[in-house]
């Protein structure tokens, strides 16, 4: 290409870059994109126009962009201050409608709780529980109605309350992903509970004492729950009202904004727990001081989350939130013909998961239905006796008050729940069931993955053999059976060994699919590729599996708790029927998340295969080397040298 044509083709683009720099953009992602494009043009100019002015111009433009990036990196020291004074208030202002809806839903629910208690004196026992009401009545008779806040273990009480409040807030936010419906339901439930709780003391002629005690910590605590509701509605809005964006793009933007709101209120939730654990107990404090403290907390909430965002919006924010940067879909194309670090593979996994989230969810849901049907069909017991679930989040024992113990309880409880789906005395041939479901997940996931694979790595004459039936019966069953057998060994050391074994088995499956090898040849190929790269696979395995375990732990604690509450409040069958319904629903939720985690793991280790091939054989590098002479000759003719 002639230099004049090269300049003519890119002049408009370079002018746009200069205008961006003149605006002093502080968006590091935007500047990074500019830097990549300019350096690409500079590399081309250095190769074909080494002594021309265009090379000097592009070199100067690249330096300007680099210095802008460096300048913004130095600003990272003030990111926390910027988030508090600019970022969070701007997001709160943009989400003001969601804040109003959250507040109105909670206030209306409180009114419903008050009215229900007024009309039915037994309603409070249904909402708060028989044992809690009786304990409080006993405290009232002992002339210490607020004794529940006076446990001797202040530190343990603080840890338990803070963990519980964080759980409730996180669940309120996370349920926004269910098109905001889950968030609204949780807000209604909590609002009714607060209304019923407060009116219970009104009936006992203890309004003023209860108000000063409860709202000493409750001002921050309840405000945080309302704000978490607004964060959940903010996230759900992207799914319900995507506007001109695709639904997944709109959800990406709304989820980021909602998550930032949750980050902002986390210190408030912890502070509320600290106040409840250490200060609420001092009910003998003069009423004026307690009232002043409540008003101070309320003033802080109203100032920071209502007045300050409005004031900042009136004066003008530093940047426009509406133009949150998202890389276009074309910029997120996956490239398999290069060596990638574990961090790059990890990032690509989530790019892939975001692109195919709908298909991966359908795969997990469909395979879960297969599992439920076969497992309960061949089970020798009723659903309630086949799988056991304990609502350990709602019934922490005194020994679990310390935060570390609570986390350990969650982790071990989640492992126990997951383990019974692979090793269960009530279901004969459970290994065969898991073999089928794992093979189905691998079959459909690898077909999705092959759509993104570089075509030069897949011989076209083999594509006819990639039907799901062929893959399932000829490639997947043996490795899947090995995985199922491995998971059925319910021993503690297996969890650690799984970090090493599971990824190798999944890479083995992918090798047989993409290279069309039989079982033994695929295993031999696996051993050949692992030479010198075992630690790379081990590091990726550790990252992905721990993330998967954390995901299941959160779904186990949050979703299970929500289902327990939903069933208990909305269904009224016989106890045996209720237990069976709960077991089927909870098993379905657990297996959906486990199969989705399996799918993500298979994506990650399928991608790792391509890096192993590049490290061992470098096929794409050899292909580029073979084209060097041809490219130079053709481009040389274009330059008319």
Reply yes or no on whether the pLDDT at 640 is more than 70: no
pLDDT class of 625 with cuts at 50, 70, 90: low
Phi-psi region of 179 (alpha: psi -120 to 50; beta: other; left: phi over 0): left
Q: With contact defined as beta carbons under 8 Å apart, do 165 and 545 qualify?
A: no
Segment 558-570 shows an average pLDDT of 63
Does the pLDDT of residue 280 top 60, yes or no? yes
> Quick one: residue 285, left, alpha or beta (phi over 0 = left, psi -120 to 50 = alpha)?
beta
Q: Is 191 or 45 the better-scoring residue by pLDDT? A: 191
Q: For residue 453, what pLDDT is reported?
A: 74
pLDDT at 571 over 70: no
Average pLDDT in the chain: 78
For every residue of 525-593, DSSP letters joined together read HHHHHHTTTHHHHHHHHHHHHHHHHHHHHHHHHHHHHHHHHHHHHH----HHHHHHHHHHHHHHHHHHH
Taking the CA of residue 390 as centre, how many other CA atoms within 13 Å lie in the half-sphere pointing to its CB? 12
Per the DSSP assignment, residues forming a β-bridge with 427 are 379
More confident residue, 377 or 69: 377
The pLDDT value given to residue 185: 84
pLDDT band at 73 (very low <50, low <70, confident <90, very high): very low
Residue 52: per-residue pLDDT: 63
Phi, psi of 336 (to 5 degrees): -105, -15
CA distance 112 to 122: 15
Q: Is the pLDDT of residue 621 over 70?
A: no
The residue that leads in pLDDT, 398 or 296, is: 296
Flag whether the pTM goes above 0.75.
no
Q: What pLDDT, on a 0 to 100 scale, did the predictor assign at position 217?
A: 92
Contact 21, 68 (CB under 8 A): yes
Give burial (CB, 10 Å; 0-12/13-18/19+) of 592. buried
Q: Residue 414's pLDDT is what?
A: 63
pLDDT at 402: 44
SS (H, E, C) 81-138: HHHHHHHHHHHHHHCHHHHHHHHHHHHHHHHHHHHHHHHCCCHHHHHHCHHHHHHHHH
- Say whether 324 sits in a helix, a strand or coil: coil
Segment 296-303 long-range contacts (CB within 8 Å, at least 24 positions apart): 297/219, 297/220, 297/223, 298/219, 298/223, 301/219, 301/220, 301/223
Measuring CA to CA, which residue among 268, 256, 267, 229 is closest to residue 100?
A: 229
Which of 116-125, 278-287, 297-306, 471-480 has the lowest average pLDDT? 471-480
Mean pLDDT of the 605-616 span? 86
Helix ranges restricted to H, 316-356 = 342-355
User: pLDDT at residue 492 above 90?
Assistant: no
Residue partners of 330: CB distance under 8 A and separation at least 6: none
641/215: higher pLDDT? 215
Beta-strand ranges (E) seen in 374-450 are none
* Other beta carbons within 10 Å of 78: 10
H helices present in 279-333, as ranges: 287-302, 308-315
Separation between Cα atoms, residue 13 and residue 34, nearest integer Å? 10
Q: Compute how many other C-beta atoms are within 10 angstroms of the C-beta atom of residue 452.
A: 18
Indicate if the pLDDT at residue 106 is higher than 90.
yes
- Among 500, 579, 586, 588, residue whose Cα is nearest residue 544: 500
Is residue 25 scored above 60 in pLDDT? no
**Chain segment 148-204, per-residue pLDDT in tens:** 887 767 777 888 888 888 888 888 888 887 778 888 988 988 899 999 999 999 988
What band does 558 get if pLDDT is binned at 50, 70 and 90? low
| pLDDT tens-digit readout, 514-550 | 888 888 888 888 888 887 777 778 888 888 877 777 6
């Amino acid at each position: 290409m002639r230099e004049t044509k090269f300049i003519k083709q890119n002049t408009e683009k370079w002018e746009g870059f200069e205008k961006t720099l003149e605006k002093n953009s502080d968006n590091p992602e935007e500047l990074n994109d500019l830097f990549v494009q300019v350096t690409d043009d500079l590399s081309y100019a250095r190769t074909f126009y080494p002594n021309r002015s265009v090379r000097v111009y592009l070199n100067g433009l690249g330096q300007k962009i680099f210095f802008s990036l460096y300048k913004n990196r130095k600003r990272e020291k003030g990111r926390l201050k910027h988030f508090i004074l600019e970022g969070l208030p701007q997001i709160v202002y943009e989400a003001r409608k969601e804040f109003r809806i959250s507040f109105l839903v909670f206030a209306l629910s409180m009114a419903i709780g008050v009215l229900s208690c007024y009309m039915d004196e037994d309603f409070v026992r249904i909402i708060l529980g028989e044992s809690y009401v009786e304990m409080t009545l006993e405290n009232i008779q002992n002339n210490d109605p607020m004794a529940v806040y006076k446990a001797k273990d202040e530190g343990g009480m603080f840890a338990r309350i803070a963990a519980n409040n964080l759980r409730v807030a996180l669940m309120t936010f996370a349920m926004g992903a269910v098109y905001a419906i889950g968030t609204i339901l949780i807000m209604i439930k909590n609002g009714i509970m607060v209304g019923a709780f407060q009116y219970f003391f009104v009936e006992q002629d203890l309004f003023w004492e209860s108000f000063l005690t409860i709202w000493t910590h409750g001002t921050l605590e309840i405000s945080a729950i309302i704000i978490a509701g607004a964060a959940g509605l903010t996230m759900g809005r992207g799914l319900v009202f995507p506007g001109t964006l695709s639904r997944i793009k709109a959800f990406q933007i709304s989820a980021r904004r909602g998550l930032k709101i949750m980050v902002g209120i986390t210190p408030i939730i912890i502070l509320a727990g600290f106040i409840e654990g250490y200060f609420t107990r001092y009910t003998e404090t003069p009423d004026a001081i307690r009232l002043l403290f409540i008003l101070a907390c309320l003033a802080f909430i109203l100032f920071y989350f209502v007045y300050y965002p409005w004031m900042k919006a009136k004066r003008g924010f530093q940047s426009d939130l509406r133009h949150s940067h998202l890389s276009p879909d074309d910029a997120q194309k996956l490239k398999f013909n290069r060596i990638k670090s574990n961090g790059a593979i990890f990032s690509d996994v989530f790019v892939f998961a975001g692109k195919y989230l709908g298909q991966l969810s359908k795969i997990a849901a469909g395979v879960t239905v297969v599992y439920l049907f076969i497992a309960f069909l061949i089970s020798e017991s009723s659903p309630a006796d086949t799988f056991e679930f304990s609502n350990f989040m709602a019934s922490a024992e005194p020994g679990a008050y310390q935060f570390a113990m609570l986390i350990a309880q969650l982790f071990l409880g989640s492992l126990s729940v997951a383990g019974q789906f692979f090793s269960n005395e009530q279901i004969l041939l459970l290994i065969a069931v898991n073999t089928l479901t794992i093979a189905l997940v691998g079959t459909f996931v690898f077909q999705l993955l092959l759509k993104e694979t570089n075509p030069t790595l897949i011989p076209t004459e083999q594509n006819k053999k990639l039907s799901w039936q062929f893959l399932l019966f000829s490639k997947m069953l043996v490795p899947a059976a090995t995985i199922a057998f491995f998971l059925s060994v319910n021993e503690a050391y297996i969890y650690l060994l799984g970090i090493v074994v599971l990824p190798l088995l999944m890479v083995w499956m992918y090798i047989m699919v993409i290279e069309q090898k039989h079982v033994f040849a695929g295993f031999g190929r696996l051993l050949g590729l692992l030479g010198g790269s075992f630690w790379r696979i081990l590091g990726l395995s550790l990252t992905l599996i721990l993330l998967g375990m954390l995901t299941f732990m959160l779904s186990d604690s949050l979703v299970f708790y929500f289902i327990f509450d939903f069933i208990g409040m909305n269904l009224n069958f016989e106890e045996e029927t209720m237990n069976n319904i709960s077991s089927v629903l909870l098993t379905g939720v657990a297996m959906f998340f486990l199969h989705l985690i399996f799918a993500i793991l298979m994506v990650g280790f399928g991608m790792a295969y391509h890096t192993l091939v590049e490290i061992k054989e470098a096929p794409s590098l050899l292909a580029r080397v073979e084209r060097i002479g041809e490219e130079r000759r053709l481009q040389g003719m274009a330059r008319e040298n």
